[in-house]
Chains A and B, each alone.
Chain A
Amino acid sequence: MASVDIHDVRKAYGSTQVVHGVNIGINDGEFVILVGPSGCGKSTLLRMIAGLENITGGEIRIGDRVVNDVPPKERDIAMVFQNYALYPHMTVSENMAFSMKLRGASKQEIEQRVSKAAGILGLGNLLDRYPRQLSGGQRQRVAMGRAIVRDPQVFLFDEPLSNLDAKLRVQMRTEIKELHQRLKTTTVYVTHDQIEAMTMADKIVVMHDGIVEQMGAPLELYDRPANLFVAGFIGSPAMNLMKGRIKDGRFESDKGGSFPIGAVPHGSEGRAVTYGIRPEHIHLAADGLKAEVVVVEPTGSETQVVAKVGGQELVCVFRERITAKPGETLGIAPDASLVHLFDGETGKRLG
């Protein structure tokens, strides 16, 4: 196990720079998730840690060692690929044993480690199968087994769940998290799915266009997004964001409608801001804002309602069951203490 330090790392393909000076500190044993939309540089960064891509600038350390010029096999890392990258002509046990066979480990040691990893992942009865004979979830587990057998300093996961169906994804999410709690190996995990990031990570790094937008514990990002991008990216359904101004201690939307603010920042009267409120922080209140129901989506445990306040559409999530039909009017009240305000120009968080 080891810490990973990413210091001012840059990556350019020719004259196109895709990663612009990223700083991330990963503690020993931590589960860090790099999340962001596709093309944000998260996979590139992971591949630079693995040594599959050259580092254009900056420094990556694994433990105390700068690994910029260390070949991948000497970095003591193991990687799980999006398409699993299982060797199709080797059985499950041969797949897992391959790295040790190359290292010249004894037959006995190989057998012992493979069966231990297989035991952890419940692959015991599949050891003689070929990858083609396995289901998606089983292949995923074999790919993890191949990593576990190596007993590396750092695990790297590159969107490992995106080829699985929704149900299996939830299940594997739990399995990976449980595995990490058991092995306590430093893990860097790349995904574009913010739910995966929220549920699994000790620390989330939100990336966008080659820079780190915000870094922190999942709930920290949820409670205090540092800017508009993170506010819109973290949380599902996404936060309602509206442009407007602060007027008399309330927020006036450009499209019409006035909304309450908990604590108005000093000297911000008349200032252009973006107002953010999460769907789940809007409650039913008979004496609240008058909202016209547009769409009602019951999911059983909660009800998602798209409603119009003034000219502004809002997504709300209520614990209550809503019987209102489209066109009817509901009274709603945003929880003023949970409102987020962002600067109208820079998009940075206010307060």
Chain B
Amino acid sequence: MTDMAGRMAAARRQTGFYDRLRVNKNWQGLWFMAPAAVILLLFLAYPLGKGVWLSFTDAKIGRSGEFIGLENYEWLGWPWWSDKDGVFWLSVFNTIVYTVVASAVKFAVGLYLALLLNEKIPFKALVRSVVLIPFVVPTVLSAIAFWWIYDSQFSIISWSLKNLGLIDQNINFLGDPNNARMSLIFANIWRGVPFIAITLLAGLQTVSPSLYEAATLDGATKWQIFRNITFPLLTPIIAVVMTFSVLFTFTDFQLVWALTRGGPVNATHLMATLSYQRAILAGNLGEGAAIATAMVPFLLLAIMVSWFGLQRRQWQQGGNDD
């Protein structure tokens, strides 16, 4: 008996540390994760940390700064009741309006298009690819196209409306604060809809047709099927796609910069464009970094909302999917 136990212990000792490591799944997993982790640390975590650090310094381009605590934030107008600048809070307001309005419309239009494309319509493949075009065109190119569309003299919209006799003067698309905001939001919607439509379409196609048939036999109208079957089954994917959409819209830069550079009178400055202007063009790295850092709480909030919305619903849990 003791002899046997002794032999087993000896056999155990012979499988060395290295042997056990070789078959260890976690060790293997570590190596699979390593490349991605290195890239994330190098290109995301480090710049983020550096940015936050810069926001506490008075760094300028070409001069590493001194630690100045919260001065950058105070200068921007923190807390808001002792605001000196005004532009920062305007950009926050603009960003929120831009994000909320654009995301809401993108969702509505995207969902509508997805439902439409999920039906049997003529030239379906063609229509699907046409819907994707705004997504495929590089942002700056589409921005230039919109620049011409919104041009104060040569705008095709103004020209058409004038020829139709609906207006007598060119519309000042990008010169008037509210017009500029609406124009930018429209351009952003035009660009963002395909992503949402195609993603939701993919979600729609995972819904088994027999569910629709069962609901039809159960006596549901088209609207009832949408409300009771399609929409609830789509909520997980809606949560994902809208999180992405909100994040991308909130941090949008290219479109605004190409069309208005934040003007007129800062009416279309988003936090991202303002940060760029202050940090790179004006050279105040510390201040720009502070604006960029100020975006983080908003983005975290958006992520939290989707995190709790996204948590696997009870009906998705348990059991296998055979």
Contact = CB atoms under 8 A, between A and B. Distances in A.
Interface of A: 50-52, 72-73, 77-79, 81-83, 85, 87-90, 98-99, 102-103, 130-134, 136, 146, 150
Q: Choose among A78, A89, A136 the residue with the greatest number of B CB atoms under 10 Å from its CB.
A: A89
B208 A99 contact: no
Contact of A89 (B315, B319, B322): B315
B310 to A, nearest CB: 15
9 contacts: A50-B217, A72-B216, A72-B217, A73-B217, A73-B218, A89-B233, A89-B315, A130-B315, A133-B317
A104 B282 CA distance: 66
B321 A85 contact: no
A19 B151 CA distance: 63
A296 B111 CA distance: 63
A89 B211 contact: no
Interface string B217-238: 1111000100011001100000
Contacts, number: 75
A147 to B, nearest CB: 9
A78 B229 contact: no
B68 interface: no
Contact of B210 (A81, A90, A130): A81
Nearest to A163: B322
B217 to A, nearest CB: 5
Contacts of B153: none
Contacts of B232: 89
A131 B229 CA distance: 14
Contact of B218 (A89, A99, A130, A136): A99
B214 A130 contact: no
B318 interface: yes
A133 B220 CA distance: 25
Contact of B318 (A87, A133, A146): A133
B216 A81 contact: no
A99 B224 CA distance: 11
A102 B313 contact: no
Contact of A85 (B211, B224, B319, B320): B211
Q: Is the interface of B mostly helix, strand, loop or mixed?
A: helix
Contacts of A52: 213, 216-217
B254 interface: no
A113 B217 CA distance: 18
B178 interface: no
Interface string B199-216: 000000000101101111
A89 B233 CA distance: 7
Given A83-B210, A132-B315, A133-B318, 15 more contacts: A73-B218, A73-B219, A73-B220, A83-B208, A87-B215, A88-B233, A90-B315, A98-B228, A102-B224, A103-B219, A132-B317, A132-B320, A133-B317, A134-B319, A150-B218
B204 to A, nearest CB: 15
B314 interface: yes
A206 B289 CA distance: 77
Contacts of A50: 213, 217
Contacts of B321: 132
Given A73-B218, A77-B217, A99-B219, A132 B316 contact: yes
Contacts of B233: 88-89
B213 A132 contact: no
Contacts of A98: 215, 218, 220, 228
Contact of A102 (B220, B318, B322): B220
Nearest to A134: B319
A133 B210 contact: no
B318 A78 contact: no
Contacts of A134: 319
Contacts of A130: 314-315, 317-319
Contacts of B317: 130, 132-133
A125 B217 CA distance: 27
B219 A85 contact: no
Contacts of B213: 50, 52, 79, 81, 85
B321 to A, nearest CB: 7
Contacts of B220: 73, 98, 102
